[in-house]
Structure 1
């Protein structure tokens, strides 16, 4: 015979769930603002420099992004950047519940585009890291390579679950895919948050783009993604009735969201707007 659940316990559980929903909603709104702003910056910066024929301007953001005479390599970089804009603009749309409910056909076709684009961008980025003289140390490069494996695997699993009608699993693998695809964005806003909080570079050399902070950030964003860990915690507390665990995860999400907001503000004010101004 099960024990009856007390009224105070029900109230505590309700408040914990309400806090969790508020935290997740806040995180998502901040993420949408940050990703769509980043997408707008990509289109404005690279579109303007490409349209004007000033492709060398790419090197202000991507060292060796443009190499004179290397038309094939430059084409790979250009396509990579263009498709990256598709990911940051289209990814959040896939997560909006009302889009899935009111426009299922759009959701399915955007999902197919997202999966294919994610694989192309990931493999293209892998080629760029190892052949175009990317900045950073070897650990950063290996971490990015590991991220490519995550992206290809999660993309395949999300597609397979959708094809076989396992939509609950499809949703989870889709969210996991979104987290690892957003790795470059997480890295950028993580770096900008660090710069804002420290008042400038700390723990790394901005000239070589290497140092203990950037190495740790690359590992925690690409190789052992903290974002995936937080997502798995969210999946766990969705099923549990442990009020303390629900509240702790909600507070953790709010703290991370606040740090993300600092990083997004720093990126907009210190990096994205000045470059397209």
Structure 2
């Protein structure tokens, strides 16, 4: 008899934690990108159409005191804030697509410079609008948004500094942190619509004054102590350490928030954005 040497069959693990983490992150990014592009289309369509028609008062349907007759300087700042916000929500996801970064590095660098510059301008204009134009909401919401503006400006500066010094991994992390806080207003809207959908209507806040315990909590967790930023830091830690339990837990959390975000995007699209285009 001849003995046949059969190579051992390599055991395939039931699941691969880093792979699951990457799939969860990809699902989140895909959902967020679609939602932000829809939001960007809405911004351009609604504000562009009303501005082109000279119907500036329509801004106030969305932004209380967004347009004030006779205050051309303030109106200009608000208009620029909205226009630049559209560039942010459309261009942001493009910066995070690996294939686009690899194939078009010059475009990535150019868009990156535009993105961080606009982020700083939008944050500064937002501070002006919050504290000079007033509007609905309480002081907690205004303070939380102001804290977010500080995050945006700080993270933008740090992302630029790391890029210039060729610290690319640090640059990537600060750019992702910037992306999370820049989209705070978008996260707020999506979270609000998710809450309204699951509760069958407004709950925990007053629609007229836009105040209440839910909105206070949402503003803090969206702007001042952003959950998006906390989950991002968990993602970074899981990438670096790759502990199975923590990585799977982080992946599950990302997927849960992806589902919440998807429901909120659907609610915002059907309940806020599309109806205003009619």
- TM-score where L is the length of structure 2: 0.95
Comparing 241-250 and 85-94, the one that deviates more: 241-250
Give the deviation of 1:15 after TM superposition.
Answer: 2.0
Give the deviation of 1:242 after TM superposition.
Answer: 1.6
SS at match of 1:149: helix
Give the deviation of 1:215 after TM superposition.
Answer: 0.6
Partners in 2 of 1:223 and 1:245 — Cα distance?
25
**Residue number in structure 1 paired with 2:4:** none
Partners in 2 of 1:115 and 1:272 — Cα distance?
26
Give the deviation of 1:18 after TM superposition.
Answer: 2.1
- The equivalences for 1:82-231 within 5 A come to 82-231=83-232
Give the deviation of 1:21 after TM superposition.
Answer: 1.4
**Count of residues in correspondence between the two structures:** 269
Partners in 2 of 1:51 and 1:91 — Cα distance?
26
Give the deviation of 1:99 after TM superposition.
Answer: 1.4
What's the CA shift string for 1:255-275, capped at 9, x where partnerless?
A: 000000010000000000000
**Residue number in structure 1 paired with 2:53:** 52
- TM-score where L is the length of structure 1: 0.95
**Residue number in structure 2 paired with 1:19:** 20
Partners in 2 of 1:209 and 1:50 — Cα distance?
26
> Does the CA-based 8 Å contact 2:155-2:177 persist in structure 1?
yes
What's the CA shift string for 1:141-168, capped at 9, x where partnerless?
A: 0000000110010000000000000000
> Does the CA-based 8 Å contact 1:180-1:228 persist in structure 2?
yes
> Does the CA-based 8 Å contact 2:17-2:242 persist in structure 1?
no
Partners in 1 of 2:149 and 2:272 — Cα distance?
26
Give the deviation of 1:22 after TM superposition.
Answer: 1.2
Comparing 56-65 and 17-26, the one that deviates more: 17-26
**Residue number in structure 2 paired with 1:275:** 276
Give unmatched runs, 5+ long, in structure 2.
Answer: 1-9
Give the deviation of 1:208 after TM superposition.
Answer: 0.4
> Does the CA-based 8 Å contact 1:39-1:88 persist in structure 2?
yes
> Does the CA-based 8 Å contact 1:128-1:134 persist in structure 2?
no
Partners in 2 of 1:127 and 1:241 — Cα distance?
43
Give the deviation of 1:20 after TM superposition.
Answer: 1.2
